[in-house]
Amino acid sequence: MINYFHRNLESVLKASLKQFPATVITGPRQSGKTSLVKTVLGKSHRYISLETPDIRAFAARDPRGFLERNKPPIIIDEIQYAPEILNYIKEMIDNNRDAMGQFILTGSQNFLLMQGVSQSLAGRTAILELYPLALSENPGNRIRSVKNHESAAEWMLCGSYPELHRRKVLNSRAWHNAYLSTYIERDVRQILKIGDLNTFNQFIRVLAGQSGGLLNMSSISTETGIAVNSVKNWLSVLNASYQTITLPPFYLKFKKRLIHAPKIYFADTGTLINILGFSEIEQLLDGHQSGHLFENLVAGELFRLFANSGEKPAVYYWRTVANDEVDFIIEHGGKFHALECKFTATPSISHIKGLEAFSGEIPASKQGIKALICPCDDSLAKSISSNKIRIITLKKLAASKTISSFFK
């Protein structure tokens, strides 16, 4: 395939073929799911897309006939358009349980897709998630490497969707505008049956303003004039379609009183920045929101590291009512790892106060690494890092392909 970017999920996908009769790959539109399955499995599996209206209608009208005509091994793209066939796929799998890797199913509407999968294919399928490009998947066509303030700002402004990196001539702002419009028309409106798109656009803008901070649904309701229950419903669809990430608070009991509201992030910084109205790198480097945008970038990377490992994310944040805070708590390998983000090339003691406070609340046997993630150079990071606090550079983050490699 022309200009295919190799993805970290490839090895996990290949492994799933040997262990499960079916594999489901979900993720946002344009994250590269079709390119991935066609490139990795194009020679071993037939490919058919349910986005084509007549094929979709045939699958919905006559599921058994559709599968008889399209025998496995097969890739069925956008499976959520004909969830009726999932029960018939289950029947075919149960008639030949020893045949692995027979069905590869992709979908971009996790809300609809997973409802059908959980009912029909439980125990018969691997479920993988493909986000847009991780920093370690950067092909270098548009941004050579992400290792300092300026390159981080370039990446955040552009976003991580493969098409933007495949075709350098594309205007990222225009592309994100078109993507958001298409997403609203095709996905959100279909699921939520929203009549007034202006209200939904306002909801998106207010939500973007909270990115990197605590999610305040009452405030969103007040600013947009929609009910809190509608805010919850709309947000659940954004989460299910991989546009946003809701980060829960850390769950262990502490001596100190904790904040219990979730935090909100956007899965792609380009989408977020476009909604906020930024268009120049200088706005990201010098603006008062640069810290939140960088934190959003790191949040997206952490979720990608889990997804590219074939693991469910175990990522939280920690904040007390006294404002002791750690941006990310990661549960991995039986340990709790604490990560703080600062968009600075000059890390200092003041940046790690939250990490130290968190350490005082966690049993030593459960403590993992404590690290500050920032765009400083390697030599400075080495000179400051110690047994207690590690400095993780953007270069290190961009070199990590899985959550395990990140902690090495």
Residue-by-residue DSSP string for 291-327: HHHHHHHHHHHHHHHHHTTT----EEEEEBTT--EEE
pLDDT at residue 196 in the model: 77
Looking at the fold, whether 125 and 139 belong to one and the same domain comes out as: no
Residue identified by tokens 């986005």 is: 51
pLDDT, block means (10 residues), the chain with 408 residues: 85 97 94 96 96 95 96 95 92 95 88 73 92 96 93 96 94 94 78 80 95 96 95 91 94 71 96 95 90 97 97 94 92 95 90 91 90 91 82 94 93
- Do the domain assignments include residue 80? yes
pLDDT at residue 64 in the model: 96
Looking at the fold, whether 14 and 140 belong to one and the same domain comes out as: no
H/E segment holding residue 256: none
Looking at the fold, whether 16 and 102 belong to one and the same domain comes out as: yes
- Other CB atoms within a 10 A radius of the CB of residue 232 amount to 12
**Spatial separation of the C-alpha atoms in residues 154 and 143, rounded to whole Å:** 7
Looking at the fold, whether 197 and 298 belong to one and the same domain comes out as: yes
Looking at the fold, whether 381 and 260 belong to one and the same domain comes out as: yes
- Do the domain assignments include residue 356? yes
Reported residue count of the chain is 408
- Do the domain assignments include residue 4? no
Looking at the fold, whether 207 and 354 belong to one and the same domain comes out as: yes
Looking at the fold, whether 197 and 297 belong to one and the same domain comes out as: yes
Q: What are the b/e assignments for 196-214, b being 16+ CB within 10 Å?
A: eeeebebbbebbbbbbbeb
Phi, psi dihedrals of residue 336, rounded to the nearest 5°: -110, 115
pLDDT at residue 2 in the model: 59
Q: Where does a domain end: 129, 158, 182?
A: 129
DSSP letters, 3-61, are TPPP-TTHHHHHHHHHH-SEEEEE--TTSSHHHHHHHHHTTTSEEEETTSHHHHHHHHH
Looking at the fold, whether 98 and 174 belong to one and the same domain comes out as: no
Looking at the fold, whether 213 and 250 belong to one and the same domain comes out as: yes
- Give percent helix, percent strand, percent coil of the chain, each to the nearest 5: 50, 15, 35
| Number of domains composing the chain | 2
pLDDT at residue 111 in the model: 63
Looking at the fold, whether 88 and 192 belong to one and the same domain comes out as: no
**Spatial separation of the C-alpha atoms in residues 3 and 399, rounded to whole Å:** 21
Look at strands 263-266 and 244-247 and give their pairing.
antiparallel
Q: Which domain holds residue 147?
A: 135-406
Looking at the fold, whether 180 and 303 belong to one and the same domain comes out as: yes
Torsion angle in degrees (nearest 10) through CA of 68, 71, 76, 81:
10
pLDDT at residue 255 in the model: 60
3 state DSSP class of 67: helix
**Spatial separation of the C-alpha atoms in residues 293 and 305, rounded to whole Å:** 19
The residue type at 132: P
pLDDT at residue 31 in the model: 96
Looking at the fold, whether 249 and 264 belong to one and the same domain comes out as: yes
Among 134, 97, 51, 105, which residue's Cα sits nearest to residue 304?
Answer: 134
DSSP letters, 136-184, are GG--SSS-----SHHHHHHHHHH-S-HHHHH-TTS-HHHHHHHHHHHHI
For the chain, what is the radius of gyration of the CA atoms?
A: 22
3 state DSSP class of 289: coil
Structure tokens at 270: 């380009």
